[in-house]
Structure 1
Amino acid sequence: MKKVSLKSIQLIMSLIVAGLFFTSCNSASQNGSAEDHTVAGTESEEESEATMVNFDEVYSSINSLTDAYMVLKDALVASNAEYAQKAAGKLTELTDGEIKEAAEGIVASTDVKKQREFFNTISQKMYEMFKADESTVDAKIYKQYCPMAFNNEGAYWLSTNEEIMNPYFGDMMLHCGRVDETLEVASN
C-alpha cells in the first residue's frame, strides 16, 4: 500500500476548499443580475494592493463622508488594517450615530476580520442614509454584493467604481460579487 504524505493531503484539501470558494461565488453570481462581475481565479495580491499605492495622497484629499467611506473600503480591499484604522478615524470626524460607533470599532481594532464586521454595519447605514435622502449622494454609487461574506450570509458594500473589488475577502476573492443597484448623483 502506497503512503500519502501529510503535505500531499493538505495540498489536496486546500485545492478542494479553494475550488468550493470559487464555485460558490461563481454560482451565486450566476443567479444574480445581468450586471454580475465575478471573475474567479484571477485575483492577485498586487491588484488589491494597488488600491493603496497612494494612500496618503488619497487620504489627504478626503472632503466628504463618501470619500472617507471609499478610502476605508479600499483599505479593506487591500486587507490593510493600519490604513483602515486611519480612514475610519476620518469617518468618525465626519459623522455620528451608528456609523461613528462602527468606525470607532475599526479604529480600535488591528484585526482585519473584525474591521470588516464593523465595515458591514457602516455600509448598511450609509446605504440607508443615501436612500433616505438622495441629496446626500455626491457621486454615482454602486451597491455591490458578495454572497459568500460572513459564512455565506452575504454582505453589501458601496463603491464609486462599477468594477467589483471585494472588501470582505480582499485578494482571496477580489472580484467576487455583483452590482445590485446604482444610486445616481442628485440633480439640483
Structure 2
Amino acid sequence: MRNLLAALAILAAGPALATGLDIEIAGEASGTVHIDLFDDVAPAHVARITELAEAGAYDGVVFHRVIDGFMAQTGDVEFGKSGSDGFDMRAAGRGGSDLPDLPAEFSDRPFERGTVGMARASDPDSANSQFFIMFAPAGHLNGQYTVVGEVTSGMDVIDAIKRGTGRNGAVMGEPDRMVTVTVTE
C-alpha cells in the first residue's frame, strides 16, 4: 500500500496534461481540428508553436502547400497571414517568424496519417514556424523531420483542405486558412 501511495504521489507531482492546439479552419474545409503536441519528444518546437499560437501569430495563416495523398502545410506567419500587410500568396511558404530557427529534434516517431511535423529548408536546423499535417504515411520523412504532434480529432476537416496543383502543391486562388489557433491543456 505504501508503494502504491508513493507511486500516486509521483504521478500527481508530474507534468500537467500534454499541451495541445485547437485550430478552427475555414475555406473549402470548415471545422475544428485538435492536435496533441509532443512536448516530451520535441520540447523546443512545441514551445515555439505554443508561443506563436498564444501570441495570435497563426490566426489567419493560410495552407499554402497542399499535396494530395501527402500533406497540408501552413504556419508561414511572415508572408502567409491573410488580411495582413505582409500577405503575399506567391511568397507564402518562404517565411517564418522573427524568432531564430530551431535545432532539429528528430525522434523515432513515424510520419503516419495525422502526424504533425515541422517544415524546414534543406538545413535540418532551419525549422521556425511552419508545420505540416500528413494525409497518409510517409516513411521517407522518418528521422529527417521533427515530429511535434498528432491530430486526435478533426482529421475529416484536414482531408477537406483545398489541394494545391503541380509538383510542389502550391495552392492557387483562395486558400483555406487557420482562423484561430488556441493552446489547450
Provide TM-score, normalisation by structure 1.
0.24
**Structure 1 or 2: more strand by fraction:** 2
The structure showing larger relative contact order (alpha-carbon pairs under 8 Å, at least 6 residues apart) is: 2
Provide TM-score, normalisation by structure 2.
0.24
